[in-house]
């Protein structure tokens, strides 16, 4: 009887979540926009280690092959990621 109770107590195995990507096709190129924001934030934090980030907004401009971002509502010429 103890074995039955132990078997019931085991949690069900979780199903793996699917991989989700968003691909922008523009001018013969495939741009994975799923990772742009995370990569841009990582780049920003590597340079501005002590800055608190409350808001991070990315603007993708495929015609310039670049993405620009603002941090806490402020932008800078260096806040650019090449695609």
DSSP helix/strand/coil, 63:
helix
In a domain, 27, yes or no: yes
In a domain, 67, yes or no: yes
pTM over 0.85? The answer is no
pLDDT digits (tens, 9 = 90+) for 5-26: 555 666 677 888 888 889 999 9
In a domain, 72, yes or no: yes
Contact call for residues 69 and 79 (beta carbons, < 8 A) = yes
Please state, in angstroms and as integers, the Cα–Cα distance from residue 4 to each residue in 12, 22, 27, 44, following that order.
15, 46, 61, 54
How far apart CA 14 and CA 1 sit, in angstroms, is 26
Q: What is the extent of the structural domain holding 58?
A: 20-82
Q: What is the mean pLDDT of the chain?
A: 86
How far apart CA 6 and CA 78 sit, in angstroms, is 58
The total of structural domains in the chain comes to 1
In a domain, 26, yes or no: yes
């Amino acid at each position: 009887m103890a074995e039955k109770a132990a078997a019931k107590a085991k949690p069900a195995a979780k199903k793996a979540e699917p991989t989700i990507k968003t691909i922008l096709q523009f001018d013969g190129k495939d741009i994975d926009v799923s990772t742009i924001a995370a990569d841009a934030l990582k780049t920003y934090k590597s340079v501005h280690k002590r800055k608190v980030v409350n808001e991070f907004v990315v603007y993708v401009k495929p015609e310039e092959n670049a993405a620009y971002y603002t941090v806490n509502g402020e932008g800078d010429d260096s806040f650019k990621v090449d695609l």
